[in-house]
A and B are shown apart, each in its own frame.
Chain A
């Protein structure tokens, strides 16, 4: 076979890949739009009256903490102000080396507590439980270091309520976040897990741990991530919810039925993407058992997170995400095309494998091959150019669609100047940023293949928007 034939087959395959990716994204965006519209109709008619009805199941809010002495008190204080009828806060101190526990003891008047602690998921040794004399719904589990997943598992063991909500210590919530995310559990008894839409907090105003004003970041890197979150993490994934094919519930904020998490064995300690892995495992186990269930998603923005503002932190984050994705898919590969796999096994899993996990490889192979083929005269420069233009058009299309959906639904950034900035980001991200993210993901793949150890993810946070 000649080089020309190889190039011809290869380029056709890449083109078909892009075509399939476009078609699937179109379908997902359409589904996302339908579910947003339905949700908004429900809200418009008063279904989303955000006052408690009395049916809200009690929730245990679990906050895993490792070396958080500077932020943990404000995190707990903001959690205490959540508008929800019945919830407890469980901070799990995962063997912090700093004064996390001492800070909590002092701030909340913690006392040792003779808890009848039930070990339902094995964890590192629990040294003791503390109970706040000043805030009766606050308890602290003090345990030996075992990693984030282990800390969450200890929190689940100590949780008293049927629903557990896992919150990152640095997530910015809204007062009604819990009320919103719990609605699917009230209206649909088959709901076993529900995630909320994560948005970027950089540029917003945050007072006492709550979001008070929505704004756009003033620097380029987080602004590009706003567009990316909108495209990939909002409408791209929301489409899976009505199909019951949602494979990710962000670790920043998600609610799960405790009994199902315990039956699934809790969070895995040896994975870096423990949030996604648990959701995929729940799909696999519940499908195997033929137990009807729904894993769902609330389209309203209910949790805000700080996006990395420097490349090093961004790289760490993306490498971690890609490794987490690979681990989650690999550990639950039995779900792929399994007889009872349903939408999760037959559509969502292959999609994540082909278009999320493999996409940086295809993207880089596409770039490299196109340039090399052109340099060595296998194809002419015009074909190479049109290839790159097609990739650009594809990216612009996905982003424009996401921006239109945002305009039709939430319109979180109401000023014309903000819309202009988003359009700027939409175009700019194609010239360097997208390629850089694909590169970081390639690094993540390489690290997963070489099997380096997982550990607590640390992030350089500025928190300049917090007051």
Chain B
């Protein structure tokens, strides 16, 4: 022991014995504390690994026992529901949810019947009231799949959660249960932020964005340009023309260039001849992004006579505007190689000729 704790038996040998002793004691204290902490951390790591392995093993056994019953129930729900012990109910819900995520609607309905017969809605409700995020997510997902209206208030509370992913899950659950009732309330959760999950937001909007136009308009009013840009992009990806009046109205009121560019992109994808003049009006916009998206949209909704609108953009100071204008020229109805080459030869601007040469080469139509 004297070797291990020399501070009690020997001086450090330093000039000032008190300071030397203090240093030695500090060294020993540091080493012992930090060493003990290291040992504790190592033990905790091993304990966690053992716990994890044991849990995985019991899950595997549970799956082997109950999965056949679930597969049978997908086709033919049992007349008498099996009996689950208290400890089996949560693992059963996990397994039930995991199977649900891989099957068709008709099979899902049979599994829903089984879950109701087993009284699993009550278990899911108690899960969403627990503190564990994992449990709450499981509960929300189960109740959304079962479309349990009785859980509305509990789920609605979760859309105000500080854990944004949980709030989004809850929003999705409400929309699945009753889109018309849910949408106005859940739209604020869809606003982009640091923990935003665009795939989930798109899934939510896909459930019935038509119920949310007014609320979305208000959200767009309060969003930063980049956020509005994201939301409009997601809306345009729904291929749902119901959003066109909203976009046209925002364009009429005038918005930030980033949002305007996204609206032009959406009009190009979803709009039609009625939007042509509206789009063409932005070909001379001061921001290059807006000019570029307008040129791109003309390529999608323009007519054969719109080449005259695009040719001046081939000399634009922005490479991207020139590039998109050249590409759009190619996609106009009735455009031929001969006409494209004639346009190139007629250009006096070197940059315009270069970009036409490049785009012709890209399309395999180079002279």
Contacts and interface: CB of A to CB of B under 8 A. Distances in A.
Contacts of A188: 194
Contacts of B361: 113-114, 131
B13 A47 contact: no
Interface residues of B, number: 70
- Would you call the interface of chain A mostly helix, strand, loop, or mixed? helix
Interface string A33-74: 000001001101111110111110000000000000000000
A383 B13 contact: yes
29 contacts: A7-B15, A8-B19, A12-B23, A15-B27, A38-B195, A41-B165, A42-B164, A42-B165, A47-B197, A49-B199, A53-B198, A54-B198, A116-B354, A186-B196, A187-B193, A187-B195, A188-B194, A189-B224, A383-B12, A383-B20, A383-B24, A390-B27, A393-B31, A399-B38, A400-B41, A407-B45, A411-B52, A419-B46, A419-B49
Interface string A112-145: 0111101000000000000100001000000000
Given A379-B12, A419-B45, A423-B42, A45 B165 contact: yes
Contacts of A11: 14, 23
Interface of A: 2, 4-5, 7-8, 11-12, 15, 18-19, 22, 38, 41-42, 44-49, 51-55, 113-116, 118, 131, 136, 160, 186-189, 377-380, 382-383, 386-387, 389-390, 392-394, 396-397, 399-401, 403-404, 407-408, 411, 416, 419, 423
A25 to B, nearest CB: 11
Contacts of B357: 114, 116
Nearest to A386: B27
A71 to B, nearest CB: 28
Nearest to B326: A116
B26 interface: yes
B192 interface: yes
Nearest to A48: B197
Given A54-B237, A116-B351, A189-B224, A5 B196 contact: no
Interface in B27-42: 27-28, 30-31, 34-35, 37-39, 41-42
Given A4-B13, A389-B35, A392-B31, 7 more contacts: A8-B20, A8-B23, A12-B19, A38-B195, A131-B362, A189-B224, A407-B48
Given A46-B197, A390-B31, A400-B42, A8 B355 contact: no
B197 A49 contact: yes
Contacts of A8: 14-16, 19-20, 23
Contacts of B24: 382-383, 386
Nearest to B37: A397
Q: Which of A12, A41, A408 has the most CB of B within 10 A?
A: A41
A380 B10 contact: yes
A403 B41 CA distance: 8
B15 A5 contact: yes
Contact of A383 (B3, B27, B42, B165): B27
A396 B198 contact: no
Contact of A53 (B10, B163, B199, B226): B199
Contact of A404 (B45, B195, B230, B351): B45
B234 A54 contact: yes
Interface string B134-146: 1001000000000
B365 interface: no
B198 A116 contact: no
A189 B226 contact: yes
